[in-house]
Every structure is written in C-alpha cells, then in structure tokens.
Amino acid sequence: MTDLIERWRTERERRAFIALEDGTVFRGVRFGAKVDAVGELVFNTGMCGYQEILTDPSYAGQFVALTAPEIGNYGTNPEDVESRGLFLSGLVIGELNEPSNWRSTMSLDGYLKAAGKPGIYGVDTRALTEHLREQGNQKAYLGELEVENGECKIEGLRDGIAKARAWEGLDGKDYAAKVSTDKTYRSSLRQSATTNHRVVVYDFGVKSNILRSLSDCGFEVTVVPAKTSAEEVLALNPDGVFLSNGPADPAAVTYAIENIRKLLGLQPLSDASTSQPVPVMGICLGHQLLALACGAKTGRLKFGHHGCNHPIKNLATGKVEIASHNHNFAVLREGLPECLEVTHVNLNDESIAGIRHKTLPAFSVQYHPESCPGPHDSAYLFDQFRRMVLDRR
C-alpha cells in the first residue's frame, strides 16, 4: 500500500497533457525526458516492438501513440535498435510497466530520458485512436500541466493548443536530410561470406535490419547520404541501388527524385552523358520517391498506416502477406503513368502497396520487408532484387 501511495503522489507531481490542433486535450503523467515538444500525432497498432518503433527514423517529427494497453514490460536493450538514435517527437501510451526480461538493460523511462525524448502515460489511447481515425492525424504539443491551489490552469492548455496549431507540420518538409547519415560508410552488419555484388543504399532514414537483409542476400553494402548525387553513386560502380525508408513528405525530397531519374536513365547526368539504368529497389519513402521519379503523384492518407499487422495482397501470386507499415503519404492511383504496374495492394483500404516499372529494372513496396510480422512473408523481395541484379550483369 505504501508503494501505491508513493506512486500516486509522484504522479500528481508529474501531470502532463498532449494538446491537439483541433482543441482536443488528453491528460496523463509525464515520463522520459522532462521537455516539451511539438509534432504530428499518429497511432501505431503493433502489439510489441516499441523499441524498434522508437528507433525508426521514419517517425521523425511525430508523436507515436501505441494502441497496445501496456508498454515497457520487456524494457530496452542495445541489440534491438534500428538506427543511431531516436528521431521521434515523443511517445504516448496507456500503462507504463517496469521491465521484467532477462535481455533488458534499461527501462523504457530511462531509455527516453537518456535520449532526451518526452513521454506521457495514463492516456486513454483507445479514445485518442478513435479520435485520430475520425479526424485524421493532428499536429500536437506535449507539455506540463500548471497547477495552482490544486486546480489545473486552463491558460496552459490553451497555450498548448496554440503551439500545436502554430507548428509548421510535415507537409512539404524534407526530413530525410535531417535523419540521414552525413558520410558514406561500408555496412559491417552480418556481412555474408559469399558477398559478390555491390549495392549502394540511399540513407533517407535506413533501418539496421534492412542492411542485414541485404547482406544476407550476398550484397556488399555501401550507405550514402540522402543528398549524394547520382554521379557519385555511379562512380562507386554499384550492381544495384536501394532506396530506403524515411520520414515526412516525399514530394519535398526533390534532389532524390532527380537522382533516381538519372540512375534509371530517364534524365541525363550532369555532364549530359547517359548511362545504362541501374537496378533499383525502394521501400516506404523510397517507394514513393521511385514512383515520383517515374511520373506518379503522392498524397496524404487520412491517418496513415502505422503498425505491423497490415494485410498486403501480391497481385501476381494472389498470396496475402502480413506486413509492417509506417507512412502518412502514399502513391496515388489517379494519374499513375502507363510505365508503372501495381504489384501489391493494402487490403485495408486498397491503397497501392507495390509497383514495378514495365521496361526498366525497378520496383518498390510501401511496406517493410525487413521487418518480421509474418514473420517471413515478405523476405522474397530481397531475393527478387538480387535476381534483378544478376539478370543485369
């Protein structure tokens, strides 16, 4: 009983709120770093994998609300990270648990503190998710509740709503450059002994397991910054180019669209020369960028796809894959150029989940084949990329 009373007292002293641009406010208890933040609020329907979510650069500029009711029970560890840091704005959860797992080296609370990222628990995440499904993703502000004489000051909540509305948002913003590596490097993640092909990975927010998956396919993997020119990539003499996942609005990453066009031979190089098209595979943001480079259009989804339980139909085989998603934008069917063929669809909303170019060696998917919700439903896509590379040699 004493422990419960002490926790209750602590929670009273750590009151927090997350205010949405439409004026809705959800109250809870602060944990993680004691900092205020702004971002776009999205919900993720995964039942586990919160550390992978936290370290996914595609969440840059976003608050992630987890729909699973209890979070933190298996703690965190250095083996499950997907990138060099945490890029999201903050975490919103229902119940915060203490870790009880032999692999855990730090609690979720301590992990967020160390990364300087705020969290809020005790939130009615079911009501929050229903609200976002009805109203769409919202700009949001996470802050501390001011209490005076035992009462919360309404002015603080109004100020939080105003700050959410004033934030510039993600539309038209290039976040890929913010999360990308700043230097070229050779990946050493689980390098295969049978490596005999070179692939260059554009880092728009690449996840570690993508690099492992490419290595497992026998690729020698070189990672380059998001703004690396096509000419510099071709100078590395790659057998293929991989376009990684990443955050925010694909239409804002104009330099990447131009470089992809050059790699496919759709646009001359800077010296006005032409080259044979390089085999290209893209996922997530890379999928959207490939589509844009081929003349398609992208647009915002109402509340995005975030979770590891989305059913995807492969139109060639008729098989359904359970896939991991994290995106607010999608390739539009309207105006899809004749050169592109839809290969996969999301069965939840019939949105485009995969494309291929009809004449050039290029294909992409909207989801994450390196993730394992299926657990291996989508692993064939990396083998498909390898076969494409072999066919072009």
- Residues with a catalytic annotation lie at 284, 368, 370
What is the Cα Rg of the chain in Å? 22
Per the listing, tokens 């959860």 go with 93
Per the listing, tokens 């996914």 go with 56
Tell me 205's DSSP state: S
Closest alpha carbon to 50 in 306, 249, 285, 301: 306
- Contact (CB, 8 A) for 85 and 64: no
Tell me 370's DSSP state: T
Closest alpha carbon to 328 in 25, 43, 38: 43
> How many helices (H) and strands (E) would you count in the chain?
11, 21
223 backbone dihedrals φ, ψ, rounded to 5° = -105, 135
What are the structure tokens assigned to 54, written together?
């936290």
310 CB burial (10 A radius; 0-12, 13-18, 19+) = buried
Angle ∠(43,331,164) on CA atoms, nearest 5: 40
